[in-house]
């Protein structure tokens, strides 16, 4: 048995499963899902649990100024750039137990399997928890991986506010205060490679009856915050011609965009997931409406064209209100390097786990790491492709298979020059 195979064999299915169940208690929802917002008390509790699991393994914990948590398995050559693996612990408001969590726990399981197999990597291997991937409480998301890779500055991400006006910066200060025993590491450092394990969040693997997906790339994504400003007025006394109704204008924009952002083969993804109306009172003509736009396409040219339609439609339908379109995310589609895909494929082959190649329609922190180091992703099936939903489900066997492939790939990467 080669070292990567021995490490994969030491992955413990029951331990990995019970850790998913344990983390799901932090922010558990009545319908069996999770609501664990970024940098909330629930997310801090999940981080604390990670530290408790990491300590007996001798993993060295550190936070960076963006709140990313690193749990380092030391390497024989500690000065070599580490291999990183992980994902996120924050969830959507009606999120599940696996989106993000699996990637973090699979990386931890790989480290624990290495310890159990007596495998000491040449390079350090960091299990990483990226801050605010989901962008639910603080939009845009991917705060941690964007700050780590220099896509946005620490100042930029720190200024982002939640609905209550609390900033990422003040929550990061609260994080440091809550974990005084965890040292702070500088933001950003050279990385040898990054591998992220994740549930597929789509139906392809389950439909094909395959446990492993080798991710070819991530589709492009643009997001916007559209602010429609009108004027509050009395619902009983103000005639139609005198109204500047922000909700009515927002509704017209949303309706026009759902009609315009379509294609014959149903490839483009367009979502208005949030609408905030002010003052949100039955007898006041709305003075302000803020809506979110999430736009995705696997190809750059159509994505740009639909983005142009978004801004043009908002401008055209603004009157009698004022409309401001603020772009939040502009991430082009990307393809992971064939070398990383081949590494994952070879590991699956050696472990006799059947697989297929597939693209990721969902976004991941791997998108940002892709621009600074060789990056790849491993998918496992989830039930009916359901995700961003409390009903999200995966099987212990599939999660363990994904963790085995991940462990073998990390062992291989951590041995290389
Ligand atoms: C990630 O959660 C995404 O929305 O793609
Ligand atoms: Mn995720
Ligand atoms: Mn998600």
Report CA(155)–ligand 1 centroid distance (Å).
23
Pocket test for ligand 1, best of 362, 365, 392 (most atoms within 8 A of CB): 362
Taking CA atoms only, the protein residue closest to ligand 1 atom 3 is 363
As given in the structure block, the two tokens for residue 301 are 């040219």
Whole-number mean pLDDT of the chain? 98
Q: Give Dmax over CA atoms of the chain in angstroms.
A: 82
Task: Identify which of 34, 102, 363 to mutate to test ligand 1's pocket (most ligand atoms within 8 A of the CB).
Answer: 363
- Answer whether 90 contacts ligand 1 (Cβ < 6 A): no
Give yes or no for residue 64 CB within 6 A of ligand 1.
no
Start-to-end CA span in the chain (Å) = 22
Q: Which of 219, 172, 250 is nearest to 329 (CA)?
A: 219
Q: Is 294 in the pocket of ligand 1 (CB under 6 A)?
A: no
Residue 57 Rama label (left phi>0; alpha psi -120 to 50; beta): alpha
Beta-carbon count within 10 A of 165 CB = 7
Cα(364) to centroid(ligand 1), Å: 7
Ligand 1 lined by 135 (C-beta under 6 Å): no
Confidence of residue 178 (pLDDT cuts 50, 70, 90): very high
Question: Residues near 37 by Cβ (< 8 Å), separated by ≥ 6?
Answer: 27, 43, 90, 91, 93, 136, 137
**Both tokens of residue 209?**
């009856």
Nearest CA to ligand 1 atom 1: 363
**Whether pLDDT at 57 is above 90:** yes
CA of 86 to the centre of ligand 3 (A): 14
Q: Residue 271: what are its φ and ψ, rounded to 5°?
A: -140, 130
Pocket test for ligand 1, best of 141, 143, 292 (most atoms within 8 A of CB): 141
pLDDT given for residue 301 in this prediction: 98
85 Cα–ligand 2 center, Å? 13
pTM: 0.97
Whether 261 is in the pocket of ligand 1, judged by its Cβ within 6 Å, is no
In this structure, the residue with its CA closest to atom 2 of ligand 1 is: 134
205, pLDDT greater than 90:
yes
Residue keyed to tokens 């845009």: 140
Quick check: 23 pLDDT over 90? yes
Q: Which of 330, 235, 322, 220 is nearest to 267 (CA)?
A: 220
Q: Which two tokens stand for residue 35?
A: 């609501």
pLDDT digits (tens, 9 = 90+) for 309-358: 999 999 999 999 999 999 999 999 999 999 999 999 999 999 999 999 99
CB 64 within 8 A of CB 157: no
Q: Which regions of 318-385 does DSSP assign to beta strands (E)? A: 322-331, 334-335, 355-360, 375-380
pLDDT on residue 417: 84
- Measured CA to CA, the distance from residue 247 to residue 227 in angstroms comes to 10
Q: Kind of pairing, strands 193-199 and 375-380?
A: parallel
Separation CA 254–CA 262 (nearest Å): 13
Contact by Cβ (8 Å): 90, 23: no
Is the Cβ atom of 134 under 6 angstroms away from ligand 1?
yes
Q: Tell me the mean pLDDT in the region 382-398.
A: 98
Closest ligand 1 atom, CA of 100?
A: 2
pLDDT of residue 1: 86
Pocket test for ligand 1, best of 134, 137, 295, 387 (most atoms within 8 A of CB): 134
- Could you tell me if the CB of 366 is within 6 A of ligand 1? no
Q: For residue 130, what are the β-bridge partners?
A: 88
Per DSSP bridges, beta strands 193-199 and 334-335 are unpaired
pLDDT tens-digit series, residues 270-304? 999 999 999 999 999 999 999 999 999 999 999 99
Query: How do residues 75-118 score in pLDDT, each as one tens digit?
Result: 999 999 999 999 999 999 999 999 999 999 999 999 999 999 99
The candidate with the shortest Cα–Cα distance to 140, out of 11, 292, 347, is: 292
Q: Is 363 in the pocket of ligand 1 (CB under 6 A)?
A: yes
Q: Which of 328, 360, 364, 387 to mutate to test the pocket of ligand 1 (most atoms within 8 A of CB)?
A: 364
Q: How far is the CA of 366 from the centre of ligand 2 (A)?
A: 10
% of residues, the chain, pLDDT over 70:
100
Cβ(126) – ligand 1 distance below 6 Å: no
Q: Which of 136, 90, 139, 88 is nearest to 365 (CA)?
A: 88
Rounded Cα gap, residues 328 and 48, in angstroms:
31
Going by C-alpha positions, the residue among 205, 189, 24 that lies closest to residue 100 is 24
Q: How far is the CA of 88 from the centre of ligand 3 (A)?
A: 9
């Amino acid at each position: 048995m080669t070292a990567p195979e021995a490490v994969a064999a030491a992955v413990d299915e029951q331990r990995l499963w019970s850790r998913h169940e344990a983390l799901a208690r932090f922010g558990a929802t009545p319908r069996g899902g999770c609501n664990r917002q970024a940098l909330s008390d629930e997310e801090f509790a999940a981080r604390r649990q990670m530290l408790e699991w990491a300590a007996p393994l001798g993993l060295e914990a550190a936070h960076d100024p963006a709140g990313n948590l690193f749990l380092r398995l030391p390497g024989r050559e500690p000065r070599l750039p580490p291999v990183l693996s992980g994902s996120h612990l924050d969830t959507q408001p009606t999120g599940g137990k696996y989106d993000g969590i699996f990637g973090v726990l699979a990386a931890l399981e790989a480290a624990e399997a290495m310890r159990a197999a007596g495998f000491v990597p040449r390079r350090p291997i960091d299990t990483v928890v990226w801050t605010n991937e989901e962008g639910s409480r603080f939009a845009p998301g991917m705060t941690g991986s964007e700050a780590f890779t220099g896509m946005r500055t620490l100042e930029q991400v720190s200024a982002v506010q939640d609905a209550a006006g609390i900033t990422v910066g003040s929550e990061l200060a609260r994080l440091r205060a809550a974990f005084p025993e965890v040292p702070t590491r500088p933001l950003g450092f050279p990385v040898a490679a990054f591998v992220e394990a994740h549930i597929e969040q789509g139906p392809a693997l389950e439909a094909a009856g395959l446990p492993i997906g080798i991710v070819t790339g991530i589709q492009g994504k643009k997001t916007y915050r559209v602010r429609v400003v009108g004027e509050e007025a009395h619902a009983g006394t103000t005639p139609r011609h005198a109204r500047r109704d922000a909700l009515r204008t927002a509704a017209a924009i949303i309706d026009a965009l759902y009609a315009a952002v379509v294609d014959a083969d149903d490839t483009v993804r367009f979502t208005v997931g949030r609408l905030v109306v002010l003052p949100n009172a039955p007898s006041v003509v709305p003075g302000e409406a803020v809506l979110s736009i999430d736009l995705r396409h696997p190809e750059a040219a159509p994505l740009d064209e639909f983005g142009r339609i978004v801004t043009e439609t908002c401008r055209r339908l603004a009157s009698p209100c004022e409309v401001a379109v603020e772009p939040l995310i502009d991430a082009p589609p990307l393809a992971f390097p064939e070398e990383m895909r081949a590494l994952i494929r070879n590991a699956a082959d050696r472990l006799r786990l059947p697989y297929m190649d597939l693209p990721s329609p969902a976004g991941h922190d791997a998108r940002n790491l892709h621009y600074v180091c060789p990056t790849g992703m491993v998918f496992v099936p989830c039930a009916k492709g359901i995700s961003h939903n409390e009903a999200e489900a995966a099987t212990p066997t599939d999660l363990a298979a994904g963790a085995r492939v991940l462990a073998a790939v990390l062992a291989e990467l951590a041995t290389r020059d």
